[in-house]
Amino acid sequence: MAAEADSPRAPFGRRACEVADSRESGGYRIFTLIDAEGPAPAAGQFYMLAAAPDWAGEGGRPYLPRAISYARVTENPKGGVRLDFLIDEVGPGTSRLARMKQGDECFVAGPFGNRFSLPRQLNEGAAGAILVGGGIGIAPMAVLRRELVNRGIPSRSLLGFRDQAHSGGVDELFGCEETRLAFEDGSYGHKGFVTDLLLQLLEGDDSGSAAIYSCGPPAMLEAVRRICADRGLPVELALESPMACGYGACFGCAVPKAEGGYMRLCVDGPVVRGDQIATAMAGEPAVG
């Protein structure tokens, strides 16, 4: 799996972290937690979050914490780190997280999972990286982009959204340089899928110099995986699957491997190489 040995390990158990900020962004919500005790996470990792008040509320849901990728990490002046998360309200857990206010407490476990490889680890001949993000999946791409900038590695970002109401985080998390946008409704940028932009870019590029990374909805990830497989291009995909524990105990997150058998996405992923899986369509969400 992708460079798992480098990934910081989560402290045992969950800890209460203070919400430092919460703001609207293009139909999504960005909130900031102060994690005074946790280690700095690595690009691709995620946390299991549960709002301290009102969790397991009406009808018992949300009961389990929710897996959320971090979108930015900065040093906290008083110790530990400040973590930004980008949230799309699709159900009771994400809605509750989005309703948290400054000063509230959030239970945090993590960071979990593995990290993205660097371009030369993924492809020896890589001159830089192409990042393909869709919807809420732009969060891990923003983290990876920042790491590549810090290391002086060139990258181009291709970001796709359904419409303006589901397009948060672009201005705050990505610079406009080397970033191209696609909107399915044609309201801005390219009208169509972000994979159209990837195909355009690959036509103009020496394919051998590309290291490709992607995170987004399963159908988009599967399209990226196929585009890369057809051209023999190395790609890392940050996948999603239903997660109940985050540390490998429940097997709720198991996805089939290309060679047969299963991997647990919370420990063997969420970052996987395209050739490790038969499909990026991970399966039905669990309810909990």
Ligand X SMILES: Cc1cc2nc3c(=O)[nH]c(=O)nc-3n(C[C@H](O)[C@H](O)[C@H](O)COP(=O)(O)OP(=O)(O)OC[C@H]3O[C@@H](n4cnc5c(N)ncnc54)[C@H](O)[C@@H]3O)c2cc1C
What residues line the site for ligand FES (CB under 6 A)? 243-246, 248-253, 264, 266
Q: How far is the CB of 253 from ligand FES (least distance, A)?
A: 3
Find out whether the peptide bond into 8 is cis, omega within 30 degrees of 0: no
Stretch that binds ligand X, among 92-100, 117-125, 186-194, 206-214 (CB under 6 A): 92-100
Residue nearest to ligand X (CB): 91
Q: What whole-number distance in Å separates Cα of residue 112 and Cα of residue 93?
A: 19
> How close are the terminal C-alpha atoms of the chain, in Å?
28
Q: What whole-number distance in Å separates Cα of residue 213 and Cα of residue 116?
A: 8
> Which listed option, ligand X, ligand FES, none, makes contact with residue 264 (CB within 5 to 8 Å by class)?
ligand FES
Q: Six-digit token pair at 234? A: 């190395």
88 interacts with ligand X by CB under 6 A: yes
> Which listed option, ligand X, ligand FES, none, makes contact with residue 287 (CB within 5 to 8 Å by class)?
ligand X
- Of these, 34, 106, 129, 136, which contacts ligand X (CB under 6 A)? 136
Q: How far is the CB of 64 from ligand FES (least distance, A)?
A: 9
Q: How far is the CB of 247 from ligand FES (least distance, A)?
A: 7
Question: Helix 218-231 crosses helix 194-204 at what angle (to 10 degrees)?
Answer: 20
Backbone angles phi and psi of 82, in degrees to 5: -100, 130
Dihedral of alpha carbons 287, 264, 8, 159, sign: negative
Dihedral of alpha carbons 198, 279, 233, 123, sign: positive
* Residue-wise burial string across 203-227, b where 16 or more C-beta atoms lie within 10 A, e elsewhere: eeeeeeebbbbbbbbbebbbbbbeb
58 interacts with ligand X by CB under 6 A: no
> What is the pairing mode between strands 262-264 and 210-215?
unpaired
- Of these, 14, 51, 66, 110, which contacts ligand X (CB under 6 A)? 66
Tell me the site size for ligand X, rule CB under 6 A. 23
Site pattern 18..47 for ligand X (x: CB under 6 A): ----------------------------x-
Q: How far is the CB of 243 from ligand X (least distance, A)?
A: 5
Closer CB to ligand X, 128 or 217, in the complex: 217
184 interacts with ligand X by CB under 6 A: no
Binding site for ligand X (CB under 6 A): 46, 62, 66-69, 86-88, 90-94, 136, 139, 240-241, 243, 270, 284-285, 287
